[in-house]
Chains A and B, each alone.
Chain A
């Protein structure tokens, strides 16, 4: 593997996470429990589409085959997507969506904080921009975790169920492989163990405050980063890519 190939993979994974998470959040449009929350979730989706554009465009540049962000978003198949599994799970109820946003935004907050020190100037710039966004996502998700956990019996039950169901998908966020190691050697990629530690501390603290018990993991799901997904991803792609696939000669 060359450095370029590793960097391509690195950008693609980050870009795919943003793209697929934005897809799920955008499904909330006109479906949120309060009009104000509808606008908030849409704002997050917009932040993430913007991030996906930056990262996928850069991935295209690094790959050097002349592919655009749209080429990468709309013309790859299920096995070529490298987002984490937690990003693609269906929205479920509001508690599930908030719990997912909580787990991912806390991870992203610590991750992009570190990525600001990357030796790669593009990633460094993306990190600085993204950090401002995910800081807010994290604050919003944290507040809702506290409200749902400390709200009614029903909301507590729902958010606890969401946390239990999502827990085994949280581990994949911290996985690393050869590509990451290569890039870390030249100070491009983030060193993950400290990110994981900070994530654990923050998450446990909030769950405790919210009256939600921390699940015990006997296994963490894996595969998304290497293109082995849940069945849900295929449906996302068949919907997202429909026009591009049905009219391959058209530009929109």
Chain B
């Protein structure tokens, strides 16, 4: 197969401000890590949207299969005891 002359795809994750989660912004094309980072900077921070960038080769990302959603995600739905509202606290107890 011929090499795609538009270079490889990299997924871009941006942190909007220090301490925040990194959020997927989109993707860019680039041939190497440095280029990917620069292209992400020039594409996704034109309005000062970020304080930090991650780039990851697209093909390095493993995604779950939607067909497995029942097995992967449904079993967590009835584990109510994982949430603080499940517990009855004695009246008057503070800071808990």
**Interface of A, helix, strand, loop or mixed by DSSP:** helix
CB-CB < 8 A to B34: which residues of A? Answer: 143
Contact of B46 among A34, A35, A43, A139 (CB under 8 A): A43
Does residue A186 face the partner (Cβ distance < 8 Å to B)? Answer: no
B31 to chain A: closest residue by CB? A147
Q: Is B35 an interface residue (CB 8 A)?
A: yes
Q: Which residues of B contact A147 (CB under 8 A)?
A: 31-32, 35
Interface of B is mostly: mixed
Residues of A within 8 A of B31 (CB): 147
Q: Is the CB of B42 within 8 A of A40?
A: yes
Would B7 and A40 count as touching, CB distance under 8 A?
A: no
Count of A-B contacts with CB under 8 A?
A: 29
Instruction: Give the B interface residue count (CB, 8 A).
Output: 14
Q: Verify A36–B46 contact, CB threshold 8 A.
A: no
CB distance from B35 to the nearest CB of A (A): 7
Residue B6 at the chain A interface, CB threshold 8 Å: yes
Q: Which of A36, A40, A143 contacts B29 (CB 8 A)?
A: A36
- State A34–B6 Cα separation when bound (angstroms): 7
Which residues of chain B come closer than 8 Å to A34, judged between CB atoms? 6-7, 29
B7, B28, B31, B39 — most chain A CB neighbours (10 Å): B39
Tell me, in angstroms, the Cα distance from A40 to B37 when the chains sit together: 12
Please name all residues of chain B whose beta carbon is closer than 8 Å to the beta carbon of A35 when the two chains form the complex. Answer: 29
- Please tell me if A39 contacts chain B, counting CB pairs below 8 Å: yes
CB-CB contacts below 8 Å: B6-45 with A: 6-7, 28-32, 34-35, 38-39, 42-43
A20 to chain B, nearest CB (A): 22
Q: Please, how many angstroms separate the alpha-carbon atoms of A40 and B39 in the complex?
A: 7
Which 3 pairs, one residue from A and one from B, show the smallest C-beta to C-beta distance? A36-B39, A40-B42, A39-B42
Q: Contact residues of B with A, CB < 8 Å?
A: 6-7, 28-32, 34-35, 38-39, 42-43, 46
